Amino acid sequence: MKKTMSWTLAPLSGAVALALFLGPNVAVAEYDSIQVGNLSIGGALRANYVIGDYPGDSNRRDWDDGGDVFLDTVRINLDYENGPWLGKLEYRWYNGYNMLHTGWVGYNFENESQLQVGVNRVPFGPGAYGVSQSWFFDQHYYIGLSDDMDLGVKYTMPMGDWTWDFAYYARDEGHYSGDSRDSARYSYDVVNHFGDGYEERNQLNVRGIYSIPNADTDVGFSAQYGELKSKGPQSDGDHYAVSGHMVNNWGNWTLASQLSYYKYDVDEHNVFGVDGSTAPTLTDRHVQFGAYDFSNAIAAEGWVPAVSLSYFKETDSIPWLDYVIPYAEVSSIVKSESSFNSSDLVVLGAAWGRGNWYIYTDLAFSNGNEFVGWDAQFYDRLGSNNDDNWQTRFNLNLGYYF
């Protein structure tokens, strides 16, 4: 098990790396891949078992029906490195839709800085996946503030104990193949679901992370600002977000924390759909978001606290297991609109690693997440969240990476 900082600049040479966020670290497992000159070819196959509060679900995911097993993800990874030049491509297939996840070319400079051009990860938060280690991520992800892929240019630069990221994104990563109008994508963005909504344009990001000398602690801040291009009767808008974050390590323990504020400034003619129907509603208190081939509404303004505690344990005495990472995570979206209910997510679980296998076992509780439970109104759980109904989901994700 090799640990490097989460903002490591160069990909592994001769292998496709699975990067799994461990606080401020990335645990990198080198898997067998196909090597063709300077190109490494790899991928992953993942399957899910789901059971929880899903009454009346035809897919048998309810507690009384025994749960459901289905193929989660098929993906292909290409990693290229030739001297200072490098590149990454990842494409994913899901049930009924598919999309580009990553696609960029880059250059490593002699001062250890790096330039990436293309669809790359937006620098916001303490690491690639925010504070989270779980399959679900934390609530930052569902409002586009962690593991967000956009089309643009990013420059990463070390400076003493600091690591700086500066980026410009012309637009989001785009819509690919699916049934939705604009939501067949991996990461959450503002989407033009009805054809006369908003689209993201001209986003600027800056992030600074300071590694405290003689202490295994990183503190940092992130900020972003972008435009919202109107495709309908409403005027153009904009959005911004700021965040403070910290990652503390004590031996094998990791405590990651983050507090963010975000706002989408849209006018009262903004079009969004709260019930998934074709009948739009006009409001400046919601924004239409989308990913995974369906759209939903989020509150236009709010605070997002999140914290994760985890422990990394190598298991040399267990022949069928290399390591295990138990974790507990809590995150929430606290809306500025007083009539809106908060959207909370609690995840208790563990990740298990053995050879090419990486397995998540997660028990999630939420009163406002589209992926947890059935017995509440969809599409608005991250918006006004009128039902405010706590639901439970157990998720087992089996992943084979090569």
The answer to whether the CB of 297 falls within 8 A of the CB of 272 is: yes
Q: Are 139 and 308 in contact (CB under 8 A)?
A: no
> Positive or negative, the Cα torsion across 181, 77, 396, 245?
negative
pLDDT of 185 above 80: yes
Within 13 Å, how many C-alpha atoms sit on residue 287's CB side? Answer: 30
What CATH code is carried by the domain that includes residue 95? 2.40.160.10
With 0-12 / 13-18 / 19 or more C-beta atoms within 10 angstroms meaning exposed / middle / buried, residue 25 is buried
Region 336-357 average pLDDT: 97
SS3 182: coil
Q: How many domains does the chain have?
A: 1
What pLDDT does 5 receive? 25
Q: In angstroms, rounded to a whole number, what is the distance separating the alpha carbons of residues 347 and 363?
A: 6
pLDDT in tens, 30-89: 556 788 989 999 999 999 999 999 998 888 999 999 999 999 999 999 999 999 999 999
- Range with the lowest mean pLDDT among 6-10, 208-212, 250-254, 387-391? 6-10
The pLDDT-based confidence of 274 (bands split at 50, 70, 90) is low
Which of 51, 41, 29 has the alpha carbon at shortest distance from 75? 41
pLDDT at 8: 26
Q: What is the mean pLDDT of residues 140-152?
A: 98
At residue 289, the pLDDT reads 95
CA-nearest of 207, 210, 240 to 226 is 240
Question: Which residue segment(s) compose the domain that 29 sits in?
Answer: 2-401
360 has pLDDT over 90? yes
Other beta carbons within 10 Å of 101: 23
Find the radius of gyration of the CA atoms of the chain.
Answer: 20
Query: Is-contact 87 104, C-beta < 8 A?
Result: yes
Section 108-113 average pLDDT: 96
User: What does pLDDT average to over the chain?
Assistant: 90
Which pLDDT belongs to residue 385? 95
**Residue 6: is its pLDDT beyond 80?**
no
- Confidence (pLDDT) at 338: 95
